Structure 1
Amino acid sequence: MTDLNQSVLKFQEAVQLTPDGHPDKPSRLNNLGRSLLARFERLGDMTDLNQSVLKSQEAVQLTPDGHPDKPSRLNSLGCSLLTRFDRLGDMTDLNQSVLKFQEAEQLTPDGHPSKRLRLNNLGILLLRQFERLGDMTDLNQSIFKFQEAVQLTPDGHPDKPSLLNNLGNPLLRRFEQLGDMTDLNQSVLKFQETVQLTPDGHPDKPSWLNNLGSSLLARFEQLGDMTDLNLSVLKFQEAVQLTPDGHPCKPPWLYNFGSSLIKRFLELRLSDDMVNAVWAYSSATYAEYGPPSVRLRAAQKWAMCLQASSSPPESILDIYHIAIPLLAETAWLGSSIPDRHYQIMQAGSVVHDAAAAAHQFGDDIQAVEWLEQGRSVIWGQILQLRTPIDDLQEKQPNLSQRLKLNSLQLEEAASPRDIFINTITVQGSIQPSVPSKEEIASHGHHLAVERKQILKEIRMCEGFERFLLPRTIRELTPAASHCPIVILNSSKVYDTCYAVVLLPNLPDDVLPVKLDSFTPRQAKVLYHKLQTLLGEDGQTISSWNSESVSGTGADSQGFKVILAELWEGVVRPVLEALALMDSSPRVKPRLCWCPTGIFSFLPLHAAGLYYADASPGSKLSDFVISSYIPTLSVLVDRVSPLPPPGSLKLLAIAQSSSIGQPKLRGTFDEIKYINAAVEQSRPLTLMTLVEEKATLGNVLSELKTATWVHFACHGVQNASHPTESALLLAGKDRLTLGMLTSLKITHGGLAFLSACQTAKGDEKLSDEAVHLGGGMLAIGFGGVIATMWSVHDQVAPQVARDVYQYLKESGMDVSEAAHALHLAVENTKKNMQGEDDAAFISWVPFIHMGM
């Protein structure tokens, strides 16, 4: 490091001493940019990386067109921009990097010795851009550039293997996209050539063996040729054997080796394959020098192997004790936000499986702790909420920086190395040699030891004793101080559904409830039935009316079947366990639902028997008033008390027309009902933003001081990017979930989202229903009224009218919001004509969340 620091200082001094206009100024700026990039790669200081980009930009700007060094300086700038993209995930950096490499390649004449290398670099960038944007043009161009680079490289050249390997990667990706076997066969051939041309002892040989194994495994899955599968196992095995312990790439290759063995076990049922797969997965899991995301996936597979082979439950629980903290590390540390989202989605079911294993072992306290850890991690990550890492950065910045750098170094060391070949030679510039496998392994061991020490130091600090560890049951049970909380979980691996209840009078324990007659498959079937009833993706209902829905037949029974199965299989067993089957109390008790996974998408609050011959007392609403919460922490962490009745500012927003959406004719009625309800409730400030006044700027400004808020407008869900889910305001303005979670409401009361899809989540994030309603809880509102799908325009104003009328009678007490919605929905049900699906679609979507 001393030499590197001296190099940076000398280049800085050279730049400072070179006057503007001097012909050597661009060269010296370029050298400084490269040295800063090299230091960033060692220390991870973003100041170095940002300065590297700036100095490289200056070098390019000062280099005249036609200058022979312009392509090399564009190449250097492209490298700095790409490195910053890898760290921060800003697409602007990736786009600019691609442009710089394209310009560098175009300015390099045919026959120039660097032409093939510039083609290679551009191919890598285009492949990166495809991975982010999914544009097939980028993938096709990437293949074309790599093919050109290979053709320009003579046989026997030391760069030939790396170029062939780089060509094999996009060919495999294009096969995965289009299914063309020609691409897959060509990918296998290119990887085979790469391996054959690479001498033993080359540091990249294990990586290229791993790539060959992946392509062979993909071809086996298409053609079923056992020769391909056997060769795949062999190549993965070679990659593992050639890689010393401590090398951060070894865990990913162990994971791939285990996966190929499981494939062969399923074909031949050879017990040795299962034994070796368990060894591979367990070795990857225990490898503390590996990336947390890989270790997490390996632990999941290891546990599944043991479960399938009927291993003792305690041995499986030991695996999950390692896995669950890794989920937090994957979500909060390391790569850019989009990468972390993808990794979480890949491993999302591990939380459900871990909790189910604990439940089956009889440790329901552990099940609750694990479920809450997983749900809070994913919820916070997707909504980009404040995390323990943020708290650490604020209170222990030195430890925070050390941990972040350690995590990034582990992940980067384990990433397949892009071969950016650069023949630029500048006197005095840094040309680091490729480290040996043994050197990389030694560094990996060092990083693992350093990580343990950093975590130990963090957990010795006040307030961070359980840093990255699950909250204990004693920390979680205060969430149930107002009413019982029912946590619902399912696991396909364990083929089980069950409930665990937190009770106000049970501070250190929980009540498990078996749901023996309800299965994960049944939950999935009900979910798909519901989606079919609501239309494609549950999004077309906003344009329906009761006549068009009931056109499916007056005897339509879809909703009745769904709600009956939820009643019989899930809700009634919970009520019986809690002794809540008495429908006589004048004031019904509250019951809070905390559904996970597939349960998050089912209307539990409406469960019951709605057939004509059903006996009284056969619906959930006959016995309790239901609310939902996304996590226990959303109640535990609420530090601001609910606002006292009367001392509030209510912000009411109405937007009847939105581009691409049907007109909402009832929004003005909602504002009228709010006025009528609150006109005698003093002291009270009512602020209305209607139509063209409901701009994003006005809404954000007023939200900061609002205690209550009412949105009468369209809402849209973005399943691919949940934080882009939005409430539609004036013109093209959108109030996104990401904008909401950047706010913090002090003493927040009720948020009423009388809009479509404000409580509909993302199925791909199977552990969470991430939605606008939950976002309102996250920013500080104590209670939320939202809808699970689009609501009929004529129904929403009626529900709003009744809710505010009941709240007016309670003195505008937000803690009565759940009761007010319960009464309003009951009133709506009575006024509905008919009992077909159209009637259910009208009232079922309304839900209360929070306190």
Structure 2
Amino acid sequence: MPRPPAAAAPRPEGAGADRPRSAATAGSAASPPSSPALRERGGPGDLDASVDLLRGTVDDLNGRHGDPNIAHARSELGYALVRRFQAQGRPEDGYEAEQAFRQSAGTEAASIRTRLFSAFHWGGLGMERGDAPAALTGYRTAVDVLLPRLADRGLPRASRLAQIAQVPRLASDAAAAATAVGDLPGAVRLLEQGRSVIWSQLLQTRTDRTVLRERHSALAAEFDAICAALETGGPGPGGPGPVGRPGPGPEQGEQPWQLSERFDDVLTRIRRLDDFEHFLEPPTFGELRRVADDGPVAVINISAHRCDALILRSVPGVPPVALVPLAGVTAAEVDQRATEFLAAVERLSRVSPEPGPAEKVRLTKRIDDTLAWLWTEITRPVLAALGLDRPGATTPRLWWCPTGALAQLPLHAAGPKDGPRVIDLVVSSYTPTLNSLIRARARPATPRPHLLGVGVRQSAPGDGSTGAQPELPGVSVELAMLADLFGDRYSGRADRDAVLSGVLADLPAHPWVHFACHGVHSATDPAASHLALYDGPLPVAGVAEQDLSGAELAFLSACHTALGNRRLADEAVHLAAAFQLAGYQHVVGTLWALDDGPAPHVARDFYRSLETAGSAADSARALHDAVQRLRREPDHRAPLHWASYVHLGP
């Protein structure tokens, strides 16, 4: 039996300013500081003593009406009982632990962090005990009720991401529980609700409010002002007064946490209006299933409990979501293979020091083995379920929505070394969430748009953004090709002209943008990953703050632009997702370092296809065809050279 999340995830006594005192110091003489230490030592006598001490703490705190520390004490007791349940197999310990977590999660006076961890452990323990319905109740409490409150808009973005990172795979584990009880639509909904939480909050501030403005102009104006202040970190000078005073907006000097409370208050008032009861509520499955209107979407759920593909289709007479169990896949193996795969491609991409012949063979084999494993265990079962596992007269579209560390691997390149790969069978696109794909499809493409080309061969010395980076001679070739192809529909910013202020000022006037420069991936702070412009970085956070509702296509011809952070894989904190969030319908990104040599040729073939098509609507197929041409070149047949390119969007 695998170890459940209750044993592997951070416990409520972890670091955090909002946490209550630990059970060992909750003000009860019955709970000496040795209780957590006894539990961690794990011997039979130690576990018994820890449970007895913590029961005494809970009994003592029960007599203190409204004491928030009781939630933490119950959570500590639940964890001690889980440890004893795992060690000794007593069914009554599992039942008592579940009750302790349930009661802790329901304590309104306690911190959201403690309650969320308790609900998380409640769900994990239910799955270990074989009680999937109980597990689902715990996970729904965590995802639907507590997670949105943990990532409060009043906290800085970095703090919200740090909070979310404390509950790894929460959404995937919740979806696994829903799958186990046969609620496939519920599994899809929980995955959507529990992933990309920060991006979803930002999208709420940009939702179309036309109808609200037409029917309730004053309330809409108040809400607009609060949303604008939240996006910029607070009201600007001379901002209008708060609720109850003249003017609809935030008060000058109002803190982010106050703006967050105001947002919730105004949202509650809007939802009390007729026809606005569901304003800004998370999408229902009935709304999410529309994502498959243009072709099937394969959501790959990677959980410690089980791994499955949930395939969404919009075919008359066919269930809207179908289950493909991935029995040979575990979350631990996906993590390990992703780590080893990315290490191999990064080492092979490094020119100094260049790997030796024996190391190249070993690393290339690791890449080939991983892609073959992805084919056998994940992509071929999905394609077979869709009847797409053999070449046909046409190459149909397929959207992938991977979770966890799987999002760092190129599913479109999966396949045996000498056999057909996914790219030979379908045109693949990726989406961080279903709602982001639905949003990207919401407007038609513009014919023959203007393109902004931004290229930096080497950043200015001493800009402090990226450290020393080698020169990219291919950038000049790339921009010259764009200028020749687009003619008077092309605007360029190269090298010294490619400065942050100028690029941001030009973006709204150009539905298409092409970046050719260094991309820098931050493993520790994903929001700091950036494109290296001439005078400094254009980071993920800076891109996401732009509101470019008329944008269509962003081609990020730079390294690592679609690579997220392992710890926050389900938040999709990377440049490609940020450009999509800013408003771009189609984004071309990369999972690892690009080879500067063929990059201009891929871009040339891509844009030639779009010029023939007349719009960005066929971006996925244009990229697919350009990569296939690159594969046919003898020097670029290996996946290292072509599999990095990915398409996000419709």
TM range, smaller chain: 0.7 to 0.9
Q: Aligned partner of 1:596: which letter?
A: T
Q: By how many angstroms is 1:847 displaced?
A: 0.7
Q: Aligned partner of 2:387: which letter?
A: A
Tell whether the 8 Å contact from 2:102 to 2:118 is kept in structure 1 after alignment.
Answer: yes
Q: 1:131 to 1:719 in 2, by over 3 A?
A: farther
Q: 1:549 to 1:715 in 2, by over 3 A?
A: farther
Q: By how many angstroms is 1:242 displaced?
A: 2.9
Instruction: State the partner residue of 1:580.
Output: 388
Q: Distance in 2 between matches of 1:471 and 1:507?
A: 22
Tell whether the 8 Å contact from 1:707 to 1:746 is kept in structure 2 after alignment.
Answer: no
Q: Distance in 1 between matches of 2:53 and 2:605?
A: 68
Tell whether the 8 Å contact from 1:807 to 1:816 is kept in structure 2 after alignment.
Answer: yes
Instruction: State the partner residue of 1:713.
Output: 517
Of residues 287, 290, 296, the one that matches 1:475 is 287
Q: By how many angstroms is 1:379 displaced?
A: 3.8
Q: What stretches of structure 1 of length at least 5 have no aligned partner?
A: 1-127, 133-165, 173-187, 196-203, 402-451
Instruction: State the partner residue of 2:341.
Output: 530
Further displaced range: 570-579 or 314-323: 314-323
Tell whether the 8 Å contact from 2:594 to 2:644 is kept in structure 1 after alignment.
Answer: yes
Q: 1:217 to 1:546 in 2, by over 3 A?
A: closer
Instruction: State the partner residue of 2:496.
Output: 692
Asked if 1:521 corresponds to 2:362, the answer is no
Q: By how many angstroms is 1:520 displaced?
A: 2.5
1:734 partner SS = strand
Q: Following superposition of structure 1 onto structure 2, how do residues 599-638 of structure 1 map, counting pairs within 5 Å?
A: 599-611=406-418, 614=419, 618-638=420-440
Asked if 1:247 corresponds to 2:67, the answer is yes
Deviations 1:125-164 (A, max 9, x none): xxx9x989xxxxxxxxxxxxxxxxxxxxxxxxxxxxxxxx
Asked if 1:346 corresponds to 2:162, the answer is no
Asked if 1:237 corresponds to 2:46, the answer is no
Tell whether the 8 Å contact from 2:196 to 2:572 is kept in structure 1 after alignment.
Answer: no
1:487 partner SS = strand
Q: Distance in 2 between matches of 1:294 and 1:709?
A: 44
Asked if 1:827 corresponds to 2:634, the answer is no
Q: Aligned partner of 2:409: which letter?
A: L
Instruction: State the partner residue of 1:21.
Output: none
Q: Distance in 2 between matches of 1:834 and 1:639?
A: 33
Q: 1:824 to 1:581 in 2, by over 3 A?
A: same
Q: Following superposition of structure 1 onto structure 2, how do residues 413-452 of structure 1 map, counting pairs within 5 Å?
A: none
Of residues 341, 344, 366, the one that matches 1:558 is 366
Q: 1:783 to 1:639 in 2, by over 3 A?
A: closer
Asked if 1:848 corresponds to 2:647, the answer is yes
Q: Following superposition of structure 1 onto structure 2, how do residues 716-731 of structure 1 map, counting pairs within 5 Å?
A: 716-731=520-535
Asked if 1:660 corresponds to 2:468, the answer is yes
Q: Distance in 1 between matches of 2:306 and 2:58?
A: 34
Tell whether the 8 Å contact from 1:474 to 1:508 is kept in structure 2 after alignment.
Answer: no
Instruction: State the partner residue of 1:752.
Output: 555
1:574 partner SS = helix
Asked if 1:772 corresponds to 2:606, the answer is no
Q: Aligned partner of 1:478: which letter?
A: R
Instruction: State the partner residue of 2:99.
Output: 279
Q: By how many angstroms is 1:752 displaced?
A: 0.4
Q: Following superposition of structure 1 onto structure 2, how do residues 195-594 of structure 1 map, counting pairs within 5 Å?
A: 205-206=27-28, 212-213=32-33, 216-218=35-37, 221=40, 229-243=47-61, 244-311=64-131, 313-325=132-144, 326-332=146-152, 337-380=157-200, 384-386=202-204, 395=220, 459-462=271-274, 465-466=277-278, 470-492=282-304, 494-503=305-314, 509-535=320-346, 543-544=350-351, 548=355, 552-553=359-360, 556-585=364-393, 587-594=394-401
Q: Distance in 2 between matches of 1:307 and 1:649?
A: 53
1:486 partner SS = strand
Q: Aligned partner of 2:408: which letter?
A: F
Of residues 810, 816, 819, the one that matches 2:618 is 816
Q: Distance in 2 between matches of 1:639 and 1:282?
A: 41
Deviations 1:439-493 (A, max 9, x none): xxxxxxxxxxxxx99998664335653478642111112222222111110211x
Instruction: State the partner residue of 1:783.
Output: 586
Q: 1:277 to 1:640 in 2, by over 3 A?
A: closer
Moved over 6 A (4+): 388-394, 452-458
Q: Following superposition of structure 1 onto structure 2, how do residues 64-143 of structure 1 map, counting pairs within 5 Å?
A: none
Tell whether the 8 Å contact from 1:788 to 1:845 is kept in structure 2 after alignment.
Answer: yes
Aligned identity (percent) is 32
1:785 partner SS = strand
Instruction: State the partner residue of 1:804.
Output: 607
Q: By how many angstroms is 1:630 displaced?
A: 0.7
2:395 partner SS = coil
Q: 1:463 to 1:662 in 2, by over 3 A?
A: farther
1:205 partner SS = coil
Q: Aligned partner of 2:494: which letter?
A: V
- Give RMSD over aligned pairs: 3.5
Deviations 1:81-128 (A, max 9, x none): xxxxxxxxxxxxxxxxxxxxxxxxxxxxxxxxxxxxxxxxxxxxxxx9
Tell whether the 8 Å contact from 2:308 to 2:323 is kept in structure 1 after alignment.
Answer: no
Higher helix share: 1
2:489 partner SS = strand
Q: Distance in 1 between matches of 2:478 and 2:45?
A: 68
Deviations 1:51-109 (A, max 9, x none): xxxxxxxxxxxxxxxxxxxxxxxxxxxxxxxxxxxxxxxxxxxxxxxxxxxxxxxxxxx
Instruction: State the partner residue of 1:104.
Output: none
Q: 1:232 to 1:572 in 2, by over 3 A?
A: same
Q: Distance in 2 between matches of 1:709 and 1:263?
A: 54
Deviations 1:296-355 (A, max 9, x none): 2111211222222222x3333233332221222222356554443222111232211111
Tell whether the 8 Å contact from 2:453 to 2:479 is kept in structure 1 after alignment.
Answer: yes
Tell whether the 8 Å contact from 1:567 to 1:609 is kept in structure 2 after alignment.
Answer: yes
User: In the comparison of the two structures, how many residue pairs are matched?
Assistant: 579
2:531 partner SS = strand
Q: Distance in 1 between matches of 2:400 and 2:219?
A: 34
Deviations 1:211-245 (A, max 9, x none): x54x6424653x55666655544443343223335
Tell whether the 8 Å contact from 1:385 to 1:741 is kept in structure 2 after alignment.
Answer: no
Instruction: State the partner residue of 1:153.
Output: none
Tell whether the 8 Å contact from 1:717 to 1:725 is kept in structure 2 after alignment.
Answer: yes
2:300 partner SS = strand
Q: Distance in 2 between matches of 1:287 and 1:794?
A: 60
Q: Aligned partner of 1:323: which letter?
A: A
